[in-house]
C-alpha cells in the first residue's frame, strides 16, 4: 500500500505506522476506533464516574505517590549536591533526570486509574509493574515534552495543543505495548478528534483541584486520585482496556 507523507514540523508530528497485532479490549473503545474519532462522552458523566471510582483507588494511589515524591527529593538532592548550584544547563540536567526517573513509576500510577475504570483489582505494587516499558516510556515522555516546550516557546497555542494531545501516551505504551512514536501518534490523532471537549474536561477537573486545595489542601486527598481515575476512564472510552 502506498502512502503520502506530510511535511514534518514540530507541531504536526509525522504519520507513523500504527498497524499492530489485534488485541481484545475488556470495555470501551479500541485503538482503531479511537484514532478514527469514534468515541464521545459527556463531561458530567465522566466526572461523576471518576468521583465514584475514587473509592478503592485512594490508598494505592497515595502509597505510590508518596514513595515517588521521596524518590524525586532524593534524586534532586543528590544531583544538586553533585553538580552544585550551576546555571541553566545544570537545572535542565536535573529536571530531565527527575523526569526520566518518574516516568516508569507514573506508568504504574496511571494504570491504576485504567484498571480501576474497568473494576480490575489494583494495588500499591502496581507502581513497580511496568519497568519492562521503561525505555519506551522515557523516550516518549522526553520527546513529547520537548515538542510541547518548543510549542510553548514559539507560540502558546501549539504547545497547549500538544500538551492535551499527548495526554494518553503513557497508558498506550503500558497497556497496548506500542512503541514511543506509535503511542505519540495514536494519542495525538485520537485526542485531536475531540480536542476541545477533552480540553474542557481537563479544565473542569483543574478547577475542582484548585477549589479542593483551598481548605489547607485536604480536599486533594480525594481529588488527585479522582484525576487519575478520570484519565483512566478517558483512556477506556477512547482506546479500550487491553491488559488483564
Q: What pLDDT digit, counting tens, does each position of 124-154 carry?
A: 899 999 999 999 999 999 899 889 989 888 8
Among 85-89, 102-106, 198-202, whose mean pLDDT is lowest?
85-89
pLDDT averaged over the chain?
86
First to last CA, the chain: 34
At residue 21, the pLDDT reads 43
With respect to residue 96, please indicate whether it lies within any of the assigned structural domains: yes
Q: What was the pLDDT predicted at 93? A: 77
Q: In the predicted model, what is the mean pLDDT of residues 6-17?
A: 47
Q: What is the pLDDT of residues 107-129, one digit of tens each?
A: 999 999 999 999 999 998 999 99
Q: Would you say residue 59 lies in a domain?
A: yes
In a domain, 79, yes or no: yes
pLDDT of residue 50: 97
Going by C-alpha positions, the residue among 151, 146, 220, 214 that lies closest to residue 180 is 146
In this predicted structure, the answer to whether residue 244 has a pLDDT above a threshold of 80 is no
- Residue 202 domain-assigned (yes or no): yes
Give domain status of residue 9, yes or no: no
Contact 242, 26 (CB under 8 A): yes
Q: Which residues contact 217 (CB under 8 A, 6 or more apart)?
A: none
Which residues constitute the domain of residue 191? 28-242
Asked if 110 contacts 133 with a C-beta cutoff of 8 angstroms, the reply is: no
Q: Locate 227 and state its grid cell.
A: 484525576
Q: What is the pLDDT of residue 117?
A: 95
More confident residue, 78 or 104: 104
- How far apart CA 147 and CA 168 sit, in angstroms, is 15
Establish if 159 belongs to a structural domain: yes
Query: What average pLDDT does this structure show over 65-83?
Result: 84
Tally of domains in the chain: 1
The pLDDT score that the predictor gives to residue 7 is: 45
Cell numbers describing residue 170? 503513557
Residue 20 lies in a domain: no
**According to the model, what pLDDT value does residue 235 have?**
98
Bridge partners, residue 12, by sequence: 9
Q: Is residue 204 part of a domain?
A: yes
Q: pLDDT band for position 173 (50/70/90)?
A: very high
Amino acid at each position: 500500500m502506498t502512502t503520502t507523507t506530510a511535511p514534518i514540523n514540530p507541531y504536526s508530528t509525522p504519520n507513523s505506522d500504527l498497524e499492530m497485532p489485534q488485541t481484545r479490549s475488556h470495555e470501551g473503545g479500541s485503538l482503531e476506533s479511537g484514532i478514527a474519532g469514534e468515541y464521545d462522552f459527556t463531561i458530567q458523566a465522566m466526572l461523576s464516574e471518576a468521583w465514584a471510582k475514587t473509592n478503592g483507588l485512594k490508598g494505592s494511589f497515595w502509597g505510590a505517590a508518596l514513595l515517588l515524591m521521596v524518590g524525586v527529593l532524593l534524586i534532586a538532592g543528590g544531583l544538586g549536591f553533585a553538580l552544585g548550584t550551576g546555571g541553566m544547563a545544570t537545572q535542565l540536567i536535573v529536571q530531565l533526570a527527575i523526569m526520566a526517573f518518574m516516568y516508569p513509576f507514573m506508568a504504574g500510577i496511571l494504570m491504576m486509574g485504567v484498571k480501576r475504570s474497568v473494576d480490575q483489582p489494583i494495588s500499591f505494587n502496581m507502581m513497580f509493574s511496568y519497568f519492562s516499558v521503561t525505555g519506551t516510556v522515557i523516550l516518549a515522555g522526553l520527546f513529547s515534552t520537548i515538542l510541547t516546550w518548543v510549542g510553548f516557546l514559539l507560540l502558546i497555542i501549539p504547545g497547549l495543543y500538544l500538551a492535551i494531545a499527548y495526554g494518553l501516551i503513557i497508558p498506550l505504551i503500558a497497556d497496548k505495548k506500542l512503541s514511543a512514536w506509535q503511542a505519540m501518534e495514536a494519542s495525538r490523532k485520537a485526542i485531536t478528534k475531540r480536542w476541545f471537549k477533552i480540553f474542557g474536561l481537563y479544565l473542569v477537573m483543574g478547577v475542582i483541584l484548585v477549589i479542593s486545595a483551598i481548605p489547607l489542601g485536604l480536599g486533594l486527598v480525594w481529588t488527585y486520585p479522582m484525576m487519575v481515575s478520570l484519565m483512566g476512564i478517558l483512556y477506556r472510552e477512547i482506546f479500550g482496556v487491553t491488559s488483564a
